[in-house]
């Protein structure tokens, strides 16, 4: 059995060679934009919402969140990465049986025992690599994490096809039972509004982020469906909101929001990207 999950989108969403990928990440982290938002002051940080588009589009936003994560959690033992299932294949909520996930920056070890424990304590989580085989939402987070941490951490990857509130809350509650503050981190992989004019995306996303910052899961889902906000990873976000409340978070804070229009100069049909940090 192949023990390593091979990259599906290297050469597409990000460079496929180690040198070119490092060069791109060097440039991204060196040019993280400053914002008018006040930097949050937390005692502890538990996780971040991070985008998952091609690095040329959302890399700056992702790097903003990961740079702050590194400041608050300098050496995590484990990173839980939850992403949406864009492909529509595999189990509705799936982790992995692979021992490693590979990127051009090397192998990242899976917390195999943690995956087994999660699948045994939660009836929602299957161990199913088919759900991960072609999916990019988790994979694109790994080079950022390897860039700031090396390959010293382990991961639990979870791919969500079913993102209903009941599933997100149950998954967040289950994860909170083994989450160790200061040692574990949760990354919720999501882009925000898709393919609407810049001003429309900005308004919808800012309103949705207000609920995220308040950790208001009910308001978040109500607004998401009432306003038809096309954030693709709403389940992972709600899972992080639930876990954060369970372990003592009071709020989350937006670090940076941009649309693809601000990156490429085309504002008619944009995608929104946000980095949001959770802590107390």
| 10-residue averages of pLDDT along the chain (280 residues) | 88 98 98 78 94 98 97 97 97 97 98 95 93 98 98 97 98 96 97 97 97 97 96 98 94 95 95 97
Task: Show me where the domains of the chain are located.
Answer: 4-279
Asked if 259 contacts 198 with a C-beta cutoff of 8 angstroms, the reply is yes
Question: 26 exposed, middle or buried (CB, 10 Å; 0-12, 13-18, 19+)?
Answer: exposed
Exposure string of 131-149, with b = 16+ CB inside 10 Å and e = fewer, is: bbeebbbbbbbbbbbbbbb
What is the C-alpha end-to-end distance of the chain, expressed in Å? 42
pLDDT, residue 2, reads 63
Architecture of the domain whose range is 4-279: 3-Layer(aba) Sandwich (3.40)
Residue 36: per-residue pLDDT: 62
Within 8 A by CB and 6+ apart from 21, the residues are 10, 14, 15, 103, 104, 105, 143
pLDDT at residue number 39: 75
């Amino acid at each position: 059995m192949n023990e390593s999950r091979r990259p599906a989108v290297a050469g597409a969403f990000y460079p496929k060679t180690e040198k070119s990928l490092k060069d791109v990440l060097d440039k991204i982290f060196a040019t993280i934009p400053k914002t008018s938002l006040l930097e949050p002051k937390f005692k502890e940080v538990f996780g971040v919402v991070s985008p998952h588009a091609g690095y040329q589009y959302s890399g700056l936003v992702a790097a903003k969140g990961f740079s702050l994560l590194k400041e608050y959690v300098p050496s995590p033992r484990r990173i839980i990465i939850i992403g949406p299932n864009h492909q529509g294949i595999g189990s509705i909520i799936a982790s992995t049986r692979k021992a490693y996930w590979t990127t051009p920056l090397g192998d990242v070890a899976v917390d195999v025992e943690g995956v087994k424990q999660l699948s045994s304590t939660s009836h929602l989580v299957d161990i199913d690599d088919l759900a991960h085989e072609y999916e990019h939402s988790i994979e694109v987070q790994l080079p950022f994490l390897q860039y700031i941490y090396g390959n010293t951490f382990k991961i639990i990857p979870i791919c969500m096809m079913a993102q209903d509130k009941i599933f997100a809350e149950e998954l967040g509650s289950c994860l909170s039972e083994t989450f160790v503050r200061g040692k574990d981190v949760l990354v919720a992989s999501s882009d925000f509004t898709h393919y609407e004019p810049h001003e429309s995306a900005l308004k919808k996303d800012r309103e949705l982020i207000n609920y995220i910052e308040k950790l208001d899961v009910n308001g978040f889902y109500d607004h998401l469906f009432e306003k038809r906000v096309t954030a693709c990873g709403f389940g992972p976000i709600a899972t992080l909101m639930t876990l954060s409340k369970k372990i003592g978070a009071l709020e989350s804070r937006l670090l940076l929001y941009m649309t693809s229009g601000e990156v490429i100069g085309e504002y008619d049909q944009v995608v929104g990207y946000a980095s949001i940090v959770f802590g107390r």
